[in-house]
Amino acid sequence: MDIRIATKQDCDSIKKIYSSAFPKDESEIVTKLAIALLSENTTPSTIPLIAEANGSVVGHITFSPVGIKSDESCQAYILAPLAVQPNYQKRRIGSKLIEYGMQQLLTIGGNIVFVYGDPKYYGRFGFNAETARNYTAPYKLQYPFGWQAIVLNEYILEKVPVAINCVASLCDPKLW
Ligand SMILES: CC(C)(COP(=O)(O)OP(=O)(O)OC[C@H]1O[C@@H](n2cnc3c(N)ncnc32)[C@H](O)[C@@H]1OP(=O)(O)O)[C@@H](O)C(=O)NCCC(=O)NCCS
């Protein structure tokens, strides 16, 4: 299995992954997000990655930068979305995409990475709700327990609540 940066040429493969991995009522909005993030021109860069196995694209993940209003020097990111094609699941492809991306963020000086998802899955990688507690998501969360974060490079967490903002592709309350 290889991991590489995703490009707009991967759109069709990415659409296939999300429409097969997510239930029908969720797949449309998550697919739209995955595709829109390919066109985000951010500083620092948005990092879309794909996993390839046997010549096909079988997994996808994106890390995009997050702004922390009270601390512009903090290099924060959010992991969203993530999916692995169903017939390739449970082979650690999702884990490898997360680990590869986190290693990249560690290397470029990332400080904190947020995720909004199932704690039973993301907890395996060290994400937890306590770390995210003082970072207020940009929209009201339907599942507040899913809001988690992990610290990189010995970043010192905010002690009082601060607001965060995301790239345009994530600015849709239906995603939260
Ligand atoms: C979640 C997902 C990306 C994991 O990809 P994967 O390549 O199968 O993951 P890995 O092989 O690294 O890990 C598989 C393990 O995670 C577990 N797992 C998967 N989804 C989980 C969830 N929502 N909650 C808890 N555990 C989960 C599997 O049961 C498996 O457990 P095991 O190691 O004990 O067998 C994949 O299942 C997927 O695409 N799901 C649908 C889309 C989705 O839910 N995306 C994430 C949004 S939060």
Q: Which domains does the chain have, with CATH numbers?
A: 2-175 (3.40.630.30)
Ligand 1 atom 5: the closest Cα is on which residue?
94
pLDDT in tens, 29-56: 999 999 999 999 999 999 999 999 999 9
Give yes or no for residue 24 CB within 6 A of ligand 1: no
Ligand 1 atom 14: the closest Cα is on which residue?
90
Whether 169 has a pLDDT exceeding 90, the answer reads yes
Whether 10 has a pLDDT exceeding 90, the answer reads yes
- What's the CA gap between 75 and 106, in Å, rounded? 10
14-18 long-range contacts (CB < 8 A, ≥24 apart) are 14/38, 14/50, 14/57, 14/60, 16/57, 16/85, 17/57, 17/58, 17/59, 17/60, 17/83, 17/84, 17/85, 18/60, 18/81, 18/83
User: What was the pLDDT predicted at 69?
Assistant: 85
pLDDT in tens, 81-124: 999 999 999 999 999 999 999 999 999 999 999 999 999 999 99
Q: What's the one-letter identity of residue 135? A: Y
Give yes or no for residue 125 CB within 6 A of ligand 1: no
Q: Calculate how far, in angstroms, residue 134's C-alpha sits from the geometric centre of ligand 1.
A: 27
- What's the CA gap between 14 and 55, in Å, rounded? 14
Whether 70 has a pLDDT exceeding 90, the answer reads no
